[in-house]
């Protein structure tokens, strides 16, 4: 072990703004997700009664939807289980989150009526999806047209500042001290996604525990290779 590795790790600082924790996580803010955060903050002054929030897995859609739910009193309904009861809830609460429409829609006619009801009653609907609504295979023509016309807010792939901050937080959550140069190495070489960050940190944690070592650059690089290998096997 080198002298640099034997030194006490320097403190890593989260220097990005964040939304208050809901559940177990803080929501770190950078340019890649700023528009989505601004959307939540702008409610109820939205550009339309329904908004689509689009981003990759692990990007924070659910967290932001929960932030909005706490402010609006909206119930959350999985799009795949959407049924007539959703209309009753929307009329009662005047707000609703419809989650993951890219994973299937239980009843397309009900979703169409939800969007119409939001317009008629001045209610608010937040739709989450990994795929832009206009690119989805929707059978009902009226719904397909309505989804294509929704205001769309994208959460982009995390920029370098956000990715580093997320890595710092994930390691801190596991009580793993990590040097700044290890974070920089991972951020430079890993896939730029929240999902990849979670998998790399989990792999590093397992390796560190198995070998009774702290997370050095060499161990982090090994964790990164393990994650890549696992991804290749899954394909």
Kindly report, residue by residue over 136-172, the tens digit of the pLDDT: 999 999 999 999 999 999 998 888 888 999 999 899 9
Crossing angle of the two packed helices 194-211 and 217-234, in degrees rounded to 10: 120
Domains and CATH numbers, the chain: 33-154 (3.40.50.300), 158-234 (1.10.8)
Segment 176-205 mean pLDDT: 93
d(CA 10, CA 7): 9
Q: Is the dihedral of CA 46, 48, 54, 58 positive or negative?
A: positive
30: nearest Cα among 12, 20, 15:
15
The model's confidence at residue 26, banded by pLDDT at 50, 70 and 90, is low
The answer on pLDDT for 89 being more than 90 is yes
51: nearest Cα among 123, 121, 109, 113:
123
Position 235 scores a pLDDT of 60
For residue 102, what is the DSSP state?
G
Residue 63 in tokens? 């967290």
The overall average pLDDT reported for the chain is 87
Which of residues 235 and 200 earns the better pLDDT score? 200
Helices and strands (DSSP H and E) totals, the chain: 10, 7
Query: Can you tell me whether residue 52 is helix, strand or coil?
Result: strand
For the whole model, what pTM was predicted? 0.78
Position 3 scores a pLDDT of 39
Which of residues 25 and 118 earns the better pLDDT score? 118
Pairing between β-strand 50-54 and β-strand 95-99 as defined by DSSP bridges: unpaired
Segment 57-72 mean pLDDT: 90
């Amino acid at each position: 072990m080198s002298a640099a590795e034997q030194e006490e790790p320097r403190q890593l600082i989260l220097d990005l703004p964040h939304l208050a924790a809901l559940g177990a996580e803080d929501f770190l803010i950078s340019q890649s997700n700023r528009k989505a955060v601004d959307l939540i903050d702008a409610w109820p002054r939205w550009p339309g009664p329904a908004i689509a929030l689009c981003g990759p897995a692990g990007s924070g859609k659910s967290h932001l939807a929960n932030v909005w739910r706490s402010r609006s009193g909206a119930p959350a309904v999985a799009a795949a289980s959407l049924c007539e009861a959703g209309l009753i809830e929307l009329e009662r609460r005047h707000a609703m989150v419809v989650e993951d429409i890219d994973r299937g829609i239980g009843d397309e006619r009900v979703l169409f009526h939800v969007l119409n009801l939001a317009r008629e009653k001045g209610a608010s609907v937040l739709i989450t999806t990994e795929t832009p609504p206009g690119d989805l295979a929707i059978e009902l023509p009226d719904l397909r047209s309505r989804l294509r016309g929704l205001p769309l807010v994208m959460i982009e792939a995390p920029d370098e500042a956000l990715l580093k901050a997320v890595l710092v937080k994930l390691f801190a959550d596991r009580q793993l001290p990590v040097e700044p140069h290890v974070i920089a190495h991972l951020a430079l070489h890993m896939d730029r996604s929240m999902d990849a960050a979670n998998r790399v940190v989990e792999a590093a944690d397992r390796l560190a525990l198995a070998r009774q070592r702290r997370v050095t650059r060499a161990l982090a690089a090994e964790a990164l290779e393990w994650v890549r290998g696992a991804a290749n096997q899954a394909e």
